[in-house]
């Protein structure tokens, strides 16, 4: 793998991990256009570690408050909200962790196909538009309890299919349940922490248990670049949501899906 490939794929992963536009679709498209092979397990782990560092750093105050609310004692509405949010996050991440552990081999064997990615990019882009266009936006993240959290967590299972987008499907479900776009995005980002951590740990276990050679230079370069790109992505996305909403990302998904179809049908 060349240095250019490491840089491009790390930045693409970091920029698209948290957007509702499918990081898988971008990695497939970039790889197809550049003629690159799959980046492999080692750099997948590095990219997950980088994006995990980015989201934890961005939301560290929220995480510390939730930890204090769960493990400490104290009255107050804010403490109760933080405790409820922490328990909701824990509950919401369980479905994808369970199904992912059971279905990982099937997904990686049968669904990592550019045709699947193109179809899911388009279909779930339309669903995001429907939820954002027609659902009310009268709930904030402070009102998010176990029942809607579990519904979002169940929807997140669909993100195991490449092209669906973990961020996209969780934001779609949160908007369909009536949460405003900013609250939906914040919950989606917080929910990504245990999921990204689990994916990274699974990959690290695969590396540790096998004879996989780790190119440490490329590994740490991927971690740093994906972390920086992830931080920038979260910052810009949250700012844009308040100004332009989700519609530009829906349009982008549709354009991306059409681009993937063009790649498919232009192949010899």
pTM: 0.92
CA–CA separation, 23 and 25 (whole Å): 5
Q: Which two tokens stand for residue 173?
A: 């479900």
Quick check: helix, strand or coil at residue 164? coil
C-alpha distance from residue 162 to each of 1, 10, 25, 118, 133 (Å): 23, 18, 7, 9, 25
Q: What Rg do the C-alpha atoms of the chain give, in angstroms? A: 18
Total Cβ atoms within 10 A of residue 17? 29
Q: What is the pLDDT of residue 210?
A: 67
Q: How far is CA 260 from the centre of its chain?
A: 20
CA–CA separation, 210 and 232 (whole Å): 34
Task: Spell out the domain ranges in the chain.
Answer: 3-266
Q: What is the pLDDT of residues 107-137, one digit of tens each?
A: 766 677 889 999 999 999 999 999 999 999 9
Q: How far is CA 254 from the centre of its chain?
A: 18
Q: Which two tokens stand for residue 149?
A: 């959290």
What residues have CB less than 8 Å from 137, skipping those under 6 apart? Answer: 175, 178, 179, 180, 181
Q: What is the pLDDT of residues 211-226, one digit of tens each?
A: 567 788 888 999 999 9
Q: What is the pLDDT of residue 118?
A: 93
Contact (Cβ atoms closer than 8 angstroms) between residue 229 and residue 13? yes
What residues have CB less than 8 Å from 233, skipping those under 6 apart? Answer: 14, 15, 16, 17, 18, 19, 54
Confidence of residue 72 (pLDDT cuts 50, 70, 90): confident
Q: In terms of pLDDT, which residue wins out, 44 or 56?
A: 56
């Amino acid at each position: 793998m060349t240095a250019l490939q490491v840089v491009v794929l790390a930045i693409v992963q970091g920029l698209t991990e948290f957007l509702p536009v499918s990081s898988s679709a971008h990695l497939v498209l970039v790889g197809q256009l550049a003629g690159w092979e799959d980046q492999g397990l080692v750099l997948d782990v590095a990219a997950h570690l980088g994006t995990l560092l980015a989201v934890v750093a961005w939301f560290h105050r929220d995480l510390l408050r939730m930890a204090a609310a769960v493990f400490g004692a104290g009255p107050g509405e804010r403490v109760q909200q933080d405790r409820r949010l922490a328990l909701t996050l824990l509950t919401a991440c369980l479905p994808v962790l369970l199904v992912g552990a059971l279905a990982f081999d099937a997904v990686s064997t049968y669904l990592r196909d550019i045709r699947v990615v193109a179809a899911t990019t388009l279909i779930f882009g339309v669903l995001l538009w429907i939820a954002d266009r027609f659902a009310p936006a009268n709930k904030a993240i402070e009102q998010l309890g176990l029942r809607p959290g579990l519904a979002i967590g169940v929807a997140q299972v669909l993100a195991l299919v490449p092209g669906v987008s973990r961020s996209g499907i969780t934001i779609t479900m949160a908007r369909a349940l009536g949460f405003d776009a900013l609250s939906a995005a914040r919950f989606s980002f917080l929910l990504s922490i245990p999921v990204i951590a689990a994916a990274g740990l699974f990959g690290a276990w695969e590396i540790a248990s096998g004879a996989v050679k780790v190119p440490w230079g490329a590994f740490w370069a991927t971690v740093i670049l994906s972390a920086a790109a992830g931080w920038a992505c979260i910052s810009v996305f949250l700012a844009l949501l308040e100004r332009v909403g989700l519609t530009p990302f829906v349009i982008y998904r549709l354009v991306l899906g059409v681009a993937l179809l063009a790649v498919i049908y232009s192949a010899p």
